[in-house]
Amino acid sequence: MKETIALIGPSDSVKVMQESVKRFFPNITFKTYIRERTEDSHEVLEQSQSECDGLLFSGIGVQEAAKAKGVVSKPYAQIERGAYSLMRVFSEIQRSGLPFGRISIDVVTHRVLREVLREFGMTFGKVHSMPFTVQHREQEYLEWHRTLLESGEVDLAISGFGSVYQELMELGHPVFRMLPSALQVRETVTHLLGDIAAHDLRSAGIAIQIVNLHRSEEHAVNQYDRMKDEGRFFLELLDYVRAIQGSLFNIGKREYAIFSTRGVIESPVHLDMFSRLLDWGRANNIRISSGIGIGSTAFEAEKSAQKALSHGRRLPQGGVFLVHGDHIHGPLGDRDELHYRTRIEDSTLLRIAGEIGISPSYVDRIRAIMDKTGKNIFDSGDLAACLGIGERSARRVLKKFLDSGHATLVGKENSHQVGRPKNLVRITI
């Protein structure tokens, strides 16, 4: 399949990128999305992602501004303003005949600046540097250069921002523009094409997410407030569905199904968006449980989503799980997130499960907990919480571990609560 790449940034940078892509990648289709100011780059995200397989930003400022105000779900990369760009500017300065004993330069890191100055053999009386950070807006870089130029502290400015360069030019200040180099474009596009190929493989398959809302009766409110809260949640859910380019269906009382693709719904940025919905629900005493199912058919994906949802419903505060085949991940985004299997083919785990007399999936889940936490001593309460079972059942599981020789009793919990102290058991699998 012929890939289509979006070239995003100010016109001068995009022109260089366009010429380089034509030269090195004649079989690639590209579309240009011009925004002269970095802060406006988010305006083209929705259109570019609907039309292209990957995004190539002209620089880190354009990329970070887009991510700050929009959602980037397709593979993306940015052309770093590194040594190539800087050396080309220094060559232009030398040819210009302008005095350059003192300069101001933005975007590039201090390390790159030092290395290029040493390699190029250029000496300056004073170099003022302001590397890129997401905390500084484009206007701040402009004012920084302008102050230094108008106070006479520098002879000329070097900028990686198209609008900063343009405005300083219009004010009559000596300024040079750092642009992407052809070699940087070639290298970056090569990596981006690899990311697109990996993304396409990962995206193969249908994803169905089921979302269920439940309000605790202990925090009952009047019907109007309940409907208002649920309406607020629905609006947030619509934004999430739009971001993952999915379809939303109401499948029951306070229960929704979302149809999307695996690559989009599994992306960290979208899982982070859904985590914020979970947090909102907890703050409003609404438990939100969710299950994501991945499959090659809609039937398979929905079956997996229902299985994942059953795990999410067991959590007192709600949560989201993902099921793909025999693999379960969850609670997603939680510090206690685990990855385990429902069907075990590992001969060692099968043997251990048979010796203990419990489900192989329980053994795999306990192993995942031990790997994740580095903990191997449990009481019945710990194990019940980890496995999503009752404490009485957890006591029976621990007894089976002890009876089979796959655990040892190491003590009893020192508790001030009424009742027998709990056994502390070290599991060895």
pLDDT over 70 percentage in the chain: 90
| pLDDT in the model for residue 217 | 54
Q: Answer yes or no: is pLDDT of 412 > 60.
A: yes
Do the strands 377-378 and 338-341 form a parallel or antiparallel pair, or are they unpaired? unpaired
For residue 37 the two structure tokens come to: 């100011």
Q: What topology does CATH give the domain 347-427?
A: Arc Repressor Mutant, subunit A (1.10.10)
pLDDT-based confidence at 381, cuts 50/70/90? confident
Q: What is the pLDDT of residues 216-246, one digit of tens each?
A: 555 555 666 667 777 788 888 888 888 777 8
Only one residue has tokens 């329980």, namely 362
Q: Given phi > 0 = left and psi -120 to 50 = alpha, else beta, which region is 76?
A: beta
Domain 4-79+182-200 fold is Rossmann fold (3.40.50)
What the block records as the tokens of 270 is 């979208």
- For 257-281, the pLDDT digits (tens) are 999 877 777 777 777 778 888 888 8
Q: Tell me the β-bridge partners of 59.
A: none
In DSSP notation, 356-395 reads HTS-HHHHHHHHHHHHHH---EE-HHHHHHHHT--HHHHH
Q: How far, CA to CA in Å, does 189 sit from each of 104, 208, 340, 357? A: 30, 32, 36, 54
pLDDT for position 154: 93
Mean pLDDT of the chain: 84
User: Is-contact 322 292, C-beta < 8 A?
Assistant: yes
What's 204-341's CATH class?
alpha beta
pLDDT exceeds cutoff 90 at 41: yes
CATH 3.40.50.10660 fits 96-177, yes or no: yes
H-only helix segments in 284-373:
298-313, 347-356, 360-373
pLDDT at 344: 63
Fold match between 4-79+182-200 and 96-177?
yes
**Could you tell me the residue ranges of all domains in the chain?**
4-79+182-200, 96-177, 204-341, 347-427
Which of 205, 208, 199, 266 is closest to 52 using CA atoms?
199
